[in-house]
Homo-oligomer: A and B are copies of this chain.
Amino acid sequence: MQWTKVLGLGLGAAALLGLGIILGHFAIPKKANSPAPSVSAPQDLDLEILETIMGQLDAHRIRENLRELSREPHLASSPRDEDLVQLLLQRWKDPESGLDSAEAFTYEVLLSFPSQEQPNVVDIAMTLPPPPTVGPTGDIIHSCHRTEENVTGEQGGPDVVQPYAAYAPSGTPQGLLVYANRGTEEDFKELQTQGIKLEGTIALTRYGGVGRGAKAVNAAKHGVAGVLVYTDPADINDGLSLPNETFPNSWYLPPSGVERGSYYKYFGDPLTPYLPAIPSSFRLDPANVSGFPPIPTQPIGFQDARDLLCNLNGTLAPDTWQGALGCHYRLGPGFRPDGDFSADSQVNVSIYNRLELRNSSNVLGIIRGAVEPDRYVLYGNHRDSWVHGAVDPSSGTAVLLELSRVLGTLLKKGTWRPRRSIVFASWGAEEFGLIGSTEFTEEFFNKLQERTVAYINVDIAVFANATLRVQGTPPVQSVVFSATKEIRSPGPGDLSIYDNWIRYFNRSSPVYGLVPSLGSLGAGSDYAPFIHFLGISSMDIAYTYDRSKTSARIYPTYHTAFDTFDYVDKFLDPGFSSHQAVARTAGSIILRLSDSFFLPLKVSDYSETLRSFLQAAQQDLGALLEQHSISLGQPRVSKGSGPLKVRMLNDQLMLLERTFLNPRAFPEERYYSHVLWATRTGSVATFPGLSNACSRARDTASGSEAWAEVQRQLSIVVTALEGAAATLRPVGDL
């Protein structure tokens, strides 16, 4: 292989061609040409069964599932969350439509809640108290709303958790207000450049641009005492903000809506990194946990944000910082003398969040494989929501239940049993940081890593009803394409899901021509521990927006008390045909992965990604690397391919993704071990370890430790690629 020469900036096209040839050997052999020599009567994908399943996946039943699942708020570890555990167990143990077995696995995990007795408050107080002061003082002249407006009768009651920033510390900072745009590092630097004294202020930021918790981290570096976060109508409502323009009159977020969320930096239970949160496990002292926001933080609605922001004093904010609240955004600090509040008014933020150890369960159900029960096709979604969570996550759970019903019914009737095992999972406490799924991967690390064929995630099944959207690693592209070409798209016309999809997201592939474009997997849902920690080929499936019709950063009622059954039923997917489309897509993929004789994972599709990573490295980092004398010699030369037998081929396919794992590559990134898909801070779309190391080294001298780390990261990539090539060579070769 010529990788390293390319990486080390020798040549380009010839080497890339070589790569293509090696990976090209790994196209799936045609069945007719390669019968399995030692397995009699191989069970293969049965197109009749597939058609039966597609026909039985019922939009109406998905709707009824959703109605039941989203009937009550079901925050992680709440009584209603526990009720849903029982509901899942009951469905999966049903004698007519259940699975072979089902079980709940409970973990004791650290969650964060607002106090019921002492709600979090954000006030404006008139008088600046004489320093030093303790606690909020001064006459309250304005209070932000503590709850969302009860517009449909579902936004009230004790089970609707007050909007809060989970894991943000308690505290009662007070100070002059500043506006800090999205709270990125650059945003705070800009404020500094503008000469604004940030020490002791309260920073108002809007969602987007950077992770929730990062806003507080960035703010605290500048001495900011507290952070408020709101959702700007420009970012979520296509600019609309009036009550009659928003839910329940449209799908847009009402003025009082507040996005809740986890502000923890990592994922998994914060007290038990790398260990399952079973009762006996060692737990960190919460005081020693890193990754919680350093200062009190509270999310508010844009109605309250308008009151604050439109009264700010100071310089006009830059154009890109302006939003749709109907006024010119200024930077502060403090309020303008001619506004609603006096110029010396300050903002008091009183946060009373507390950490609690709570029980949270995963529910696992299995259909045992007939031929290879030790190969698992894993399909999952989380169960916990912030409030009713009709979209997030119940739309996915409604699909999960319909899929397990249809497959379970065939199973119980004796009509069908898959070749490999199918495992269904309902994860707990995802909203607090993918906790249930992460603890599961920690508890069964080796078993899952050795046996899991692929992980399929359907969290929010339907964001909007325009088109399919799939994120995944390259080996899953082919099975997604095969499945979606055979399913009719919802809506008018007679397009397949595939043909509809290609109209919205597409790219030009050197191998296939114009194809739908798969996104890459971040850490936004429960696939994260599977791809990053275990190295299992993963995908996330949903129906989503027509971007020509909305620029909303996510569906508008996300993580608010307005994410209800009626919201879905009236605005997101009336008729539930998009839900059905997702169920059919996922069902077809599950069946193909579990029943195909040859695993439909196409490792050769990694070549395009690697090619683009290499080109990016060359184009964007090449000159820089050369400048610091980083280049590499000629590595070993790979050899050609030969005849392969079915099981070895399948093992090679399944394990290719694992060869990219290196737990020693970037240990500071916690679970991230995949040398292609770890988090990337640099702007160059290439190998993340290399990209990050280059970003850090950029301003240091050649020969610095930072440049040594660049070289080490380069070697890690080369070793992983060579290891992948070794895994793909004929198994009996050296």
Interface residues of A (CB under 8 A from B): 4, 8, 38-40, 100-101, 103, 105, 272, 274-276, 278-282, 284-285, 364, 366, 368-369, 371-374, 421, 423, 442-447, 450-451, 632-636, 647-648, 651-652, 655, 658-659, 661, 663-664, 667, 708, 711-712, 714-716, 718-719, 722-723, 726-727, 730-734
Q: Which residues of B contact A726 (CB under 8 A)?
A: 443-444, 446-447
Q: From residue A157, how far is it (CB to closest CB) to chain B in Å?
A: 35
Residue among A101, A275, A447, A663 with the highest chain B CB neighbour number at 10 A? A447
B421 A280 Cβ-Cβ under 8 A: no
Q: From residue A366, how far is it (CB to closest CB) to chain B in Å?
A: 6
A373 and B732 in contact, given A664-B663, A715-B282, A716-B275 (Cβ under 8 angstroms): yes
Residue among A40, A281, A285, A726 with the highest chain B CB neighbour number at 10 A? A281
Q: Which of B4, B40, B731 contacts A373 (CB 8 A)?
A: B731
A658 B101 Cβ-Cβ under 8 A: no
A731 B282 Cβ-Cβ under 8 A: no
15 pairs of residues in contact across A and B, judged by CB atoms under 8 Å: A8-B280, A275-B715, A279-B633, A280-B633, A282-B711, A282-B714, A373-B648, A373-B730, A374-B647, A374-B732, A421-B731, A446-B655, A446-B658, A446-B726, A664-B667
State the CA gap A734–B275 with chains docked (Å): 19
Q: Which residues of B contact A366 (CB under 8 A)?
A: 732-734
Task: Please name the residue on chain B nearest to A108 by beta carbon.
Answer: B633
Task: Please name the residue on chain B nearest to A649 by beta carbon.
Answer: B374
Q: From residue A227, how far is it (CB to closest CB) to chain B in Å?
A: 31
Q: Which residues of B contact A712 (CB under 8 A)?
A: 275, 282
Residue among A278, A423, A445 with the highest chain B CB neighbour number at 10 A? A278
Task: Please name the residue on chain B nearest to A39 by beta carbon.
Answer: B38
Q: Which residues of B contact A659 (CB under 8 A)?
A: 446-447
A280 B39 Cβ-Cβ under 8 A: no
B279 A635 Cβ-Cβ under 8 A: yes
Q: From residue A33, how far is it (CB to closest CB) to chain B in Å?
A: 20
A731 B374 Cβ-Cβ under 8 A: yes
State the CA gap A228–B38 with chains docked (Å): 63
Q: Which of B40, B272, B733 contacts A101 (CB 8 A)?
A: B733
State the CA gap A239–B34 with chains docked (Å): 70
Q: Which residues of B contact A722 (CB under 8 A)?
A: 276, 443
Q: Which residues of B contact A718 (CB under 8 A)?
A: 280-281
Task: Please name the residue on chain B nearest to A280 by beta carbon.
Answer: B632
B732 A450 Cβ-Cβ under 8 A: no
Q: Which residues of B contact A663 (CB under 8 A)?
A: 663-664
Q: Which residues of B contact A368 (CB under 8 A)?
A: 732
Q: Is the interface of A mostly helix, strand, loop or mixed?
A: mixed
B732 A282 Cβ-Cβ under 8 A: no
State the CA gap A374–B443 with chains docked (Å): 28
Q: From residue A361, how far is it (CB to closest CB) to chain B in Å?
A: 13
Q: Which of B274, B282, B285 contacts A664 (CB 8 A)?
A: B274
Q: Which residues of B contact A101 (CB under 8 A)?
A: 733-734
State the CA gap A113–B327 with chains docked (Å): 77
State the CA gap A314–B718 with chains docked (Å): 59
Question: A444-B726, A450-B651 given. 6 additional CB < 8 A pairs?
Answer: A105-B636, A275-B715, A276-B722, A279-B632, A369-B732, A446-B723
State the CA gap A634–B368 with chains docked (Å): 29
State the CA gap A733–B376 with chains docked (Å): 11
A719 B279 Cβ-Cβ under 8 A: no
A715 and B281 in contact, given A373-B731, A374-B648, A734-B364 (Cβ under 8 angstroms): yes
Q: From residue A372, how far is it (CB to closest CB) to chain B in Å?
A: 8
Q: Which of B38, B715, B723 contacts A40 (CB 8 A)?
A: B38
B648 A719 Cβ-Cβ under 8 A: no
A731 B451 Cβ-Cβ under 8 A: yes
State the CA gap A718–B278 with chains docked (Å): 10
Q: Which residues of B contact A635 (CB under 8 A)?
A: 278-280
State the CA gap A633–B276 with chains docked (Å): 14
State the CA gap A152–B143 with chains docked (Å): 99
Q: Across the A-B interface, give the 9 residue pairs with the lowest CB-CB distance, nearest first.
A: A280-B632, A373-B732, A374-B731, A368-B732, A279-B633, A282-B715, A282-B711, A4-B280, A446-B659
State the CA gap A664–B665 with chains docked (Å): 12
State the CA gap A274–B723 with chains docked (Å): 13
State the CA gap A633–B280 with chains docked (Å): 5
Q: Which residues of B contact A727 (CB under 8 A)?
A: 446-447, 450
State the CA gap A55–B720 with chains docked (Å): 44
Q: From residue A362, how far is it (CB to closest CB) to chain B in Å?
A: 10
Task: Please name the residue on chain B nearest to A369 by beta carbon.
Answer: B732
B374 A280 Cβ-Cβ under 8 A: no
B373 A421 Cβ-Cβ under 8 A: no
A447 and B723 in contact, given A281-B715, A281-B718, A734-B364 (Cβ under 8 angstroms): yes
State the CA gap A421–B374 with chains docked (Å): 23
Q: Which residues of B contact A280 (CB under 8 A)?
A: 4, 8, 632-635, 715, 718
Task: Please name the residue on chain B nearest to A659 by beta carbon.
Answer: B446
Q: Which of B364, B444, B634 contacts A723 (CB 8 A)?
A: B444
A647 B647 Cβ-Cβ under 8 A: yes
B636 A278 Cβ-Cβ under 8 A: yes
Q: From residue A321, how far is it (CB to closest CB) to chain B in Å?
A: 42
Residue among A39, A446, A730 with the highest chain B CB neighbour number at 10 A? A446
Q: Which residues of B contact A276 (CB under 8 A)?
A: 719, 722
State the CA gap A38–B369 with chains docked (Å): 14
A421 B40 Cβ-Cβ under 8 A: no
State the CA gap A38–B370 with chains docked (Å): 11
State the CA gap A726–B651 with chains docked (Å): 21
Q: Which residues of B contact A723 (CB under 8 A)?
A: 443-447
State the CA gap A647–B645 with chains docked (Å): 15
State the CA gap A635–B276 with chains docked (Å): 11
State the CA gap A428–B101 with chains docked (Å): 52
State the CA gap A443–B636 with chains docked (Å): 11
Task: Please name the residue on chain B nearest to A710 by beta carbon.
Answer: B282
Task: Please name the residue on chain B nearest to A450 by beta carbon.
Answer: B655
State the CA gap A274–B666 with chains docked (Å): 13
State the CA gap A718–B282 with chains docked (Å): 10
State the CA gap A369–B450 with chains docked (Å): 22
Q: From residue A232, how far is it (CB to closest CB) to chain B in Å?
A: 41
Q: From residue A103, how far is it (CB to closest CB) to chain B in Å?
A: 5
State the CA gap A451–B734 with chains docked (Å): 12
Q: From residue A159, how far is it (CB to closest CB) to chain B in Å?
A: 30
State the CA gap A444–B636 with chains docked (Å): 12
Q: From residue A197, how far is it (CB to closest CB) to chain B in Å?
A: 39
Task: Please name the residue on chain B nearest to A102 by beta carbon.
Answer: B734
State the CA gap A9–B275 with chains docked (Å): 20
Q: From residue A358, how far is it (CB to closest CB) to chain B in Å?
A: 16
